[in-house]
Structure 1
């Protein structure tokens, strides 16, 4: 009741500036082309261009890859303070929005610099379909509420509250929120692993 109103109020005051503008500004500051960023992030040039223009919204995994290619962090791109804490109280979580559909993220970490796991709670609106992805890494997803259709390497799983999935992210995957309620999802992922850039 009051707790929910408090959560809604917190969501309303944590909006970030347009992500695409921040990415374009950072890319141009570094003197990098769309092709260079796309190659280093292992994404397509067209997708990076759409993100910069606000046409497409990256997943958290893709955004980490873009940030790494731009030698920065998600927090800096979203103007969210970077904080490390081994203990995070419920009302002290860092939060931010992504995309025009207003996906809402609650950070549950990292507890320390250099951590390999990225835990978060994601609130996705009804009907939202995620980016189609595959990269080197690992993901664990526990559905807290709502219903989700999860596509993994040709298999389709209809997930209900309490269901979970744990897989190698090199397998093609994406998901869609079913029904007319938002999905609340607990995710623990690793940073996408990239091959080190070749020296010319």
Structure 2
């Protein structure tokens, strides 16, 4: 398989368009930064043209990512998350633990984690673009949205626009486990993004 046909098979244009829209950039913004015409960017985004690697590198730079963002795909094994080998992160004095469930691949929009909140944990109130879904696997969660506090128990869930001020706390004396899915990558490499 040739390099061009491999890139075509990825439907790279859709990934470029999604990244551009995520950054709220126009076709003109990307064209100017990459040093190519608006028409050519449009053709690439519609998968009507295949850029050279040099042009793709210029587009990637304009979109704040590396070229691998558009050409890498996880293998079937990388799409699967096994509990014994999950990547984990600790925040604070281990009051908040994350286990990454999702895979990183070109153009992915969703991130998913299991979160363990220790007793007494309280987050700050935040806002950001995108949306979130929280499902309580065990324990209790106090969810605050727009200043309103709601108690969620095992099996309860919430789906909300993350632009609304929101935060969580665990008011119980037991750790709780949440399944969190959202359209923001909590641990993305900020040096390569917006």
TM-score (norm 2): 0.53
1:4-63 Cα deviation digits (max 9, x unpaired): xxxxxxxxxxxxxxxxxxxxxxxxxxxxxxxxxxxxxxxxxxxxxxxxxxxxxxxxxxxx
> Is 1:178 the equivalent of 2:180?
no
The number of equivalent residue pairs is: 114
Corresponding residue number in structure 2 for 1:125: 118
Unpaired runs of 5+ residues, structure 1, are 1-70, 73-82
User: Structure 2 vs 1, CA of residues 149 and 94 (structure 1 numbering), >3 Å: closer, same or farther?
Assistant: same
SS of 2:121's equivalent? coil
Alignment check: 8 A CA contact 2:95 2:121 kept: no
Gaps of 5+ in 2: 1-63, 66-72, 186-192
| SS in structure 1 at match of 2:84 | helix
2-side partners of 1:191 and 1:180: how far apart? 30
Conserved 8 A contact 1:145-1:183: yes
The correspondence of residues 154-165 of structure 1 with structure 2, limited to 5 A, is 154-165=147-158
Q: Which has the larger radius of gyration?
A: 2
Residue of 134, 145, 168 corresponding to 1:152: 145
2:159 aligned with 1:166: yes
Question: What is the rounded CA distance, in whole Å, between the counterparts of 1:109 and 1:167 in structure 2?
Answer: 20
Match of 1:91?
84
| Cα offset, 1:111, TM superposition | 4.7
Question: 1: CA distance between counterparts of 2:106 and 2:87?
Answer: 16
Q: Is 1:145–1:184's contact at 8 Å kept on the other side of the alignment? A: yes
Identify the range of structure 1 (95-104 vs 167-176) with the bigger mean alpha-carbon deviation: 95-104
Distance apart, 1:102 and its partner CA: 3.6
- Residue 114 of structure 1: how far off its partner (Å): 2.7
Query: Hey, what's the Cα distance between the residues in 2 that align with 1:94 and 1:104?
Result: 11
Distance 2:95 2:159 in 1: 25
Residues 80-103 of structure 1: per-residue CA shift (max 9 Å, x gap): xxx952112222211121112441
Query: Could you say what the CA RMSD is over the residues aligned between the two structures, in angstroms?
Result: 2.4
Judged with a 3 Å threshold, the aligned counterparts in structure 2 of structure 1 residues 88 and 101 are, in CA distance, closer, same or farther, namely closer
- Residue 5 of structure 1 corresponds to none
Please say if residues 149 and 177 of structure 1, whose CA atoms lie closer than 8 Å, have aligned partners that are also in contact: yes
Distance 1:134 1:145, change over 3 A: same
Give the whole-Å Cα distance in 2 for the aligned partners of 1:191 and 1:175. Answer: 17
